[in-house]
Amino acid sequence: MKKTNFYQPVKIGVLGLGTVGSGVTRMLAHNAGEIRRRAGREIIITHAAARNLNTITANTIGIKLTEQALNVVQDPEISMILELIGGYEPARELILCALDNGKHVVTANKALIAKYGNEIFAAARMARKIVGFEAAVAGGIPIIKALREGLAGNQIEWVAGIINGTANFILSEMQDKGRDFPEAMAEAQRLGYTENDPTLDIKGIDAAHKLTILASIAFGIPLRSEKVYTEGIGGITYEDVAYATRLGYSIKHLGIARRGENGVQLRVHPTFIPKRQLLANVNGVMNAIMVKGNAVGQSLFYGAGAGAEPTASAVVADIIDIVRNLKTDPESRVPYLGFQPEALLDLPVIPINEVETACYLRILALDRPGVLADITRILANHGISIEAFMQKETHLTASKVPVVLLINPVKEEKMNKAISAIESLDSILAPIMRIRLEYLDT
C-alpha cells in the first residue's frame, strides 16, 4: 500500500484575506495534522492575493503575497484557488480564469453562485475541474453535501430554512427581549452581525441567494435567482412577535422551496411557525434547514451560518473533497447541482400570486360596533375561512383596536383582494399586516 505521507503537498492560492480568508488560513494551519490524516496529503496555502497588502492581519508566514489576483490565478504551481473576495466582479472573472488555467475552485460566494452558477458550472465541466461551494449556504452546516449526496435517494418535497443569521438574531432579540425592530437592528449592528450594507440581510436578498442554491440541488433545476419572491423583516413589529408568542408560534425569516405538481415555489419571507417545531426554537445568529424527503421524512440540519471559523469549516471540507478527488474522472464526481447536468429540469417557478398559504393578519380598526362583522363578511365573500381569531379586550379610553386573525390556506391573489377590500373600509386605520404561516407538517 502506498504511503500517503510521501505524496507531494497540494498547493493552494487564496483570493481575499478578509474575515473568511484569514479564517481558512488559520484553520488549515491549526488543523493541519487532522486534515492530513483525512486527506492523505498535506494541504498548504502557498500564494495569496489581497486588495491592500498593508492592511492584512492574517498570519501569512510562508505565503507569497500579491495585490494582483490574476497572478495567483495563473500561477502554474497552484492546483486550487479559493475565491473569498465576494461580490460579482472580479470574482466571476477570476474563477473563470482559474478554471481556464486548469485549477479547481472553492468559493464561499452565494451571490455569485446564485446569479452566475449555471455559467460557472458549464465552464468547470468544460475544464474538467471541480467548483466547491459548500460555504455559500449556511457555512457551518454541510447542507449542500446532505442534499446532493446524503439524501440522494429521496425525492425532495420541500426545504425550509433559517438561512440568514442576522435576520434571525434580530427576530430572536425582539421575541426574547421584547425589543422593537429598530432597537434589535441597532443591537445587531453593535455586535458586528450586519454587513456594511445591511440591506442584503434585512431585505432578504442574501437569503434569496442561498434559497436559489438549495432549491437547485434539492430538485435538480437550474439556478434561477431572479425568480425568488423576496420579502424582508423590516416591517415586523414587536406587536406581531408578541401576538405570535400568544398564539403558540415564532416568527422566523424563512427561505422556502417547495415542489408541487405545477412547478416549484421559491420564496423568502417572515413566517409564523408553530412553537413545537424545532425550527421555531433556533435562535440568535444560528441557521437551520429543514428538509422533507419522500423516504426520509423530515430532517433538520442546525449550525452556525456565518463567521470566520464556521465558513472556514465548509471551505476546508471542500478542499479535502477536491484533494480526495484530484485523480477522479470528472464523470465520476458528484455533479455540481447533485443531478447530472443533462438531467436538470427547468421546472416552472410558480408566481407568488398563485401560491397558497395560511397567514396571520393584524388589522388596526376603529373600536365601534360592526367592524368585525364587516371584516368577516369580506373574507367570507372571497371564500376565505378563519382558523383563529383574537381581539384584545377594549380599554375604555381606546378608540382603536387591533384585530388579529389566522387565516386558513388560500391563494395569495385571493388574499390580496380581500386585504384591499378590508383596507378600503372607513373603519380600518392602517395598512393590514400580513405574515404567512407554515405548519411544516406535511
Q: Give the active site residues.
A: 210
Three-state SS string over 179-206 comes to: CCHHHHHHHHHHCCCCCCCCHHHHCCHH
Nearer to its own copies, 70 or 347 (CB): 347
Strand partners for 14: 48, 82
Torsion of CA 404, 410, 414, 418, to 10 degrees: -20
Residue 219 Cβ, how far from its own copies at the closest point, in Å? 9
Nearer to its own copies, 258 or 436 (CB): 258
Residue 342 Cβ, how far from its own copies at the closest point, in Å? 7
Nearer to its own copies, 14 or 202 (CB): 14
**263-274 and 433-437: which strand pairing?**
parallel
For residue 192, which amino acid is it?
G
What is the spatial distance between Cα 336 and Cα 116, in angstroms, rounded to a whole number?
Answer: 13
Residue 147 Cβ, how far from its own copies at the closest point, in Å? 9
What is the spatial distance between Cα 171 and Cα 285, in angstroms, rounded to a whole number?
Answer: 10
What is the spatial distance between Cα 123 and Cα 129, in angstroms, rounded to a whole number?
Answer: 9
What is the spatial distance between Cα 280 and Cα 175, in angstroms, rounded to a whole number?
Answer: 11
Instruction: Give the DSSP H/E element, type plus range, for residue 330.
Output: none
Residue 317 Cβ, how far from its own copies at the closest point, in Å? 5
Nearer to its own copies, 80 or 419 (CB): 80
Residue 248 Cβ, how far from its own copies at the closest point, in Å? 15
C-alpha cell at position 277: 417545531
Nearer to its own copies, 24 or 211 (CB): 24
C-alpha cell at position 305: 451560518
